[in-house]
Every structure is written in C-alpha cells, then in structure tokens.
Structure 1
Amino acid sequence: MYKHLLIATDGSELADKGVAHGLGLAKGLGAAVTFVTVSEQFPIFAWGGAMAGYAAGDGLAAYEEEARKYGKEVLDKCKASAEGLGVSAKVVHIEDRRPAEAILELSQTERCDLIVMASHGRRGLGRLLLGSQTAEVVSYSEIPVLVVR
C-alpha cells in the first residue's frame, strides 16, 4: 500500500505521537521513512531598533546555530527509534522555510506516498491566530495525509 512515508516533526511531545504512529505503520507495511523537521526564518520583528543591523546579525547567527542543533537532536532521536524497529529511515532538516511549504515540497522530491504529522486540532480563533501547518498540508497535498492527535 504505502512504500515511503514522510514523517514531519517539530520535536514536541505531540509530534512524538505522530512519529511513533508513523513508525508503527511503516514497520507493519515494510515501508521506508523520511523524517523532516523545519526551522522557520528568523523572526522579522527582531530587526527593529537603532542598532538593528548589529543586534539582529548576532541574533540571526545564534538563532541559526540553535535551530541546527535542535534539528539534529530531534532527527537523531527519530533515526534511533526507526533503527530500533528495523525501519529504513532518512533524516532531513530544512532551514529558513515555512513548515507546510517545506513538507509539501519534500514529499514530492522524495516521492513519498503518505505524509504523517500531528495536530493540536485547534479550531476557530485559536487556529486563525496561531495558524495550522497541518491544515495547510492537508489542504494542498497531492498525496494522503495521516493526522495524528
């Protein structure tokens, strides 16, 4: 049925449920997995103030370094979980992108046939204000999306 799953994670406790569910599915199907985590761009609001060029430059460098470090930690944990189950896994960290766009693009590039990701299931004003990367992926994906709560 499914041969290559894309499992998206941000390293949160909720995302860990999506990772576990996706890995269980991959093991049962004998499918390969690509894990992805996405680091968004440096916040634009950090660029204000009289010393913006200097302060933001330092802040940008620190942000990028921390994002890479965190992404590696998240993906190393995912890879170890996959290896523990005997699931073939690849890891990808995408920087400076909106998560939904990066996930959709990677799913095509890697020729995945299912995207697995978690969602808080927010509704109404909370969803409007906070946005929903999962909802955007579900709306624009050309392949099935499994949403784990």
Structure 2
Amino acid sequence: MYEHILLPTDGSDVAESGIVHGLNLACKHGSKVTVVTVTEPLGGQFAFASDLWSPSEDETAAFDEAQARIAARILSPVREKAEALGLAVETLHVPWRRVAGALIDAACDRGCSLIVMSSHGRSGMNRIMLGSQTAEVLATSSVPVLVVK
C-alpha cells in the first residue's frame, strides 16, 4: 500500500513524532523511506523581495555551508534509525525553498505514496503569525498526507 514514504523533519521534538510513526509504518509495509529537510532562503519569507536586501556572495556561501551542516546533523540520526530497522532509506536536503512546496515536489519527484509529517497544532493568531507548513501541504498535495500530533 505504501511503497515509498516521505518523512519531513526539521530536527525538532515535534517532527520526531512524525518520524517515529512514519518509520513504524515503513516497517509494517516494507516501504522505502526518504527523509527530507528543507532550508528556506536566506532572509526567510522576505528573500524573494530583492529590492529590500540582497546578500553578498560571501554571506550566501556561509549560509549555504551552515545550512548543509545543520541538514546533515538533522538527517543523520534518522538515517541511522531507519537503517537499524532494516529499511531502505534516502536522505535529502532541499536548499533555498519554501518548505511546503519543496515537500510536495520531493514527494512527487520520488514517486512517494505517502507523506507522514507532524503538526505543532497551532491555531488562531499563532497559526496566522507562524504559518502552518502542514496545513499548506495538506491543502495542496496530490500525495496522501498523514498528520501526526
């Protein structure tokens, strides 16, 4: 049923619940797993408003190097858990992208049959101010999404 599961993580404790649930599902179904973390652009949500600020080449290079190190630190323990469970696992760092779109593209590009992700469960003003990547993935993904709280 679930041949290939995409497991997004930002390395947080909240994301860990989605990882654990996704790895358990993968074990049950004999699924391949792709673990993904996404690095938003330097400048976050304002990165595409280039008339506000543009980073220098040195700033961009330093940012990219730092984000690659952070991504490796986030992905490595999940890879180890998946391998210890005997699962086929791939890790993926997607740099310079907004999270929801990057997750949907990764799932489609890799032929994933399920996305398993956590939600902070924010509502009201917190959701408006902080956004909800999970809600955006749910609203726009053609791949089924399982949300773990």
Please report the TM-score for the alignment, with normalisation by the length of structure 2. Answer: 0.90
Quote the offset at 1:57 in angstroms. 4.1
* 2:131 corresponds to: 131
The whole-number CA distance in structure 2 between the counterparts of 1:4 and 1:79 is 15
Matched, 1:116 2:116: yes
Q: Give the secondary structure class of the aligned counterpart of 1:82.
A: helix
Q: Give the secondary structure class of the aligned counterpart of 1:87.
A: coil
> Percent same amino acid among aligned pairs?
42
Quick one: which amino acid aligns to residue 69 of structure 1? Answer: R
Quick one: which amino acid aligns to residue 136 of structure 1? Answer: E
- CA deviation map 1:72-123 (0-9, x unaligned): 1111111101011111111110000001000001111101010011110101
Please report the TM-score for the alignment, with normalisation by the length of structure 1. Answer: 0.90
Q: How does 1:94-109 map to 2 (within 5 A)?
A: 94-109=94-109
The whole-number CA distance in structure 1 between the counterparts of 2:29 and 2:56 is 47
The whole-number CA distance in structure 2 between the counterparts of 1:110 and 1:148 is 22
The whole-number CA distance in structure 2 between the counterparts of 1:135 and 1:28 is 26
* 2:72 corresponds to: 72
Corresponding residue pairs, total: 145
Moved over 4 A (4+): none
* 1:37 corresponds to: 37
Quote the offset at 1:146 in angstroms. 0.8
Quick one: which amino acid aligns to residue 87 of structure 2? Answer: V
Q: Give the secondary structure class of the aligned counterpart of 2:37.
A: strand
- CA deviation map 1:11-58 (0-9, x unaligned): 11111111111001100111111111000000147x899xx76x7544
Quick one: which amino acid aligns to residue 75 of structure 1? Answer: L
Quote the offset at 1:61 in angstroms. 2.5
> Is there any run of 5+ residues in structure 1 with no aligned partner, and where?
none
Structure with the greater alpha carbon radius of gyration:
1
Quote the offset at 1:62 in angstroms. 2.2
Q: Which moved more, 1:56-65 or 1:73-82?
A: 56-65
Quote the offset at 1:124 in angstroms. 1.1
